[in-house]
Amino acid sequence: MYKFFCRIYQFVMKFASRLLPWTKPKLIRGPNSILMLPDEIMILGCKKVLIVTDKTIVSLGLMEEFLKLLKEKAIEFMIYDNTSQNPTIDNIEEAYVVYISSNCDGIVGFGGGSPIDCAKGVGARVARPSMKVSQMKGLFKIRKKIPPFFAVPTTAGTGSEGTLAAVITDSKTHEKYPINDLNLIPKYAVLDPNLTIGLPKSITATTGMDALTHAVEAYIGNSNTKETIELSEMAIKLIFDNIKTAFDDGENITARENMLLASHYAGLAFTRAYVGYVHAIAHTLGGFYNIPHGHANAVILPYVLDYFGSSVYEKLSDLTKIINVFDSSKSSEENAKEFISQIRKLNNYLEIPNKIQGIDDKDIPLMINRALSEANPLYPVPMILGERDLRVLYMQIMGKAQDNTVN
């Protein structure tokens, strides 16, 4: 009965989403395209912007040319650079105070998914000053325009520059959850591969696998459109074609640009088609143990795909054609398992472990509850899972032997 309720809910959401006023950010892309952003800020009439970033971005000097141009064009700015690896409610509140006290009229999210998500949270607080961040959890709680918002990703992974989602952590309860609202989609997104040159190999790897997870979960879900299918396929192909080069040669501007584009395509796909249990589980691990989101997704993805079994064989078999490993002499099951094998091989190449260590058994019941609360009934997954299923998955992810027999 519960699974029936989930499917009815998802069917209604899929139909309703077609009636929503979806938008996409205006893209500014290519090497040195960050230098075009100040003009776009001026066009929207912003006089003083809050730049939300983190200390690593500041220490690397990635914003220097951008800040210089802002000064030349008499655009004032304030910088909030204390964003955590998993942005917290406290981060949002601190940055919000800076925005209000400094009389800012625009927001720039500059960095990986964490600063961009934090910036979205600030925008939401500006739009709804009487609401707590915790009250924004879930779908469409904001419903008011946020200030002009410009997103500048410096990693190729989250795709947050094109999505309606901000993922926030409550540092008191260790809960990590998404805030979803159409008004959080940025007005502009800058895809400048020069900003990703010099990323550590580990970040290149985990953010790239984060993008792959977005694309795969969107693709195998039940709320796809023709457009999201095409976006997912383009993202998956670009990632398999470019991530190893970006990992091995961080200076390769073509690979870097293609990975940024793949991340963006994947973000556009999942913001319409949603994600699934990989993300729900990863959010719990990020909330409880501060495990980087892309790292968690990379480890979890093959376990969840394998657990889904026959419910994803046809779609994963189709994806083997996209990455050129399809074998017409094999069944859809065999080809699907080959696709999962390719993900595991990619993780191995990128030096990502196949297990996550250090999870305390006593935390698992609450993590299962939170993962299920996030995923069901919202995520249109190939197969509805329950507590027992997630317990098996957590055990597998931890390296504790369990079979993957589905209820």
Question: Which CATH number goes with the domain that contains 389?
Answer: 1.20.1090.10
| Residues 284 and 362 grouped into a single domain | yes
Token duo for residue 176: 């990590």
* 404 part of a folded domain: no
Q: Name the amino acid, one letter, at 188.
A: Y
Residues 314, 326: Cα–Cα separation, whole Å: 12
Single residue among 196, 224, 248 that ends a domain in this structure:
196
From first to last of its 407 residues, the chain has per-residue pLDDT tens of 889 999 999 999 998 898 899 999 999 999 999 999 999 999 999 999 999 999 999 999 999 999 999 999 999 999 999 999 889 999 999 999 999 999 999 999 999 999 999 999 999 999 999 999 999 999 999 999 999 999 999 999 999 999 999 999 998 998 999 999 999 999 999 999 999 998 999 999 999 999 999 999 999 999 999 999 999 999 999 999 999 999 999 999 999 999 999 999 999 999 999 999 999 999 999 999 999 999 999 999 999 999 999 999 999 999 999 999 999 999 999 999 999 999 999 999 999 999 999 999 999 999 999 999 999 999 999 999 999 999 999 999 999 865 444 43
**Last residue of a domain, which of 171, 196, 221?**
196
Query: Angle at Cα 68 formed by Cα 66 and Cα 70, nearest 5°?
Result: 70
Instruction: Indicate if 35 and 166 belong to the same structural domain.
Output: yes
Q: Which amino acid is at 114?
A: S
Range of the domain at 104: 20-196
pTM assigned to the model? 0.95
223 shares its domain with 339: yes
- Contact indicator for 278, 301 with CB cutoff of 8 Å: yes
| Cα radius of gyration (the chain) | 20
Do the beta carbons of residue 179 and residue 138 sit within 8 Å? yes
CATH of the domain at 54: 3.40.50.1970
Contact 224, 275 (CB under 8 A): no
Measured distance CA(210)–CA(366) in Å, rounded: 24
Tell me which residue has tokens 């790897």.
205
Bridge partners of residue 27, in order along the sequence: 189
List for the chain the helix, strand, coil content (%; round to 5).
60, 10, 30
Start-end of H helices in 24-112 = 37-43, 55-60, 64-72, 89-101
Task: Determine, yes or no, domain membership for 10.
Answer: no
What sign results for the dihedral spanned by CA atoms 80, 84, 87, 89?
negative
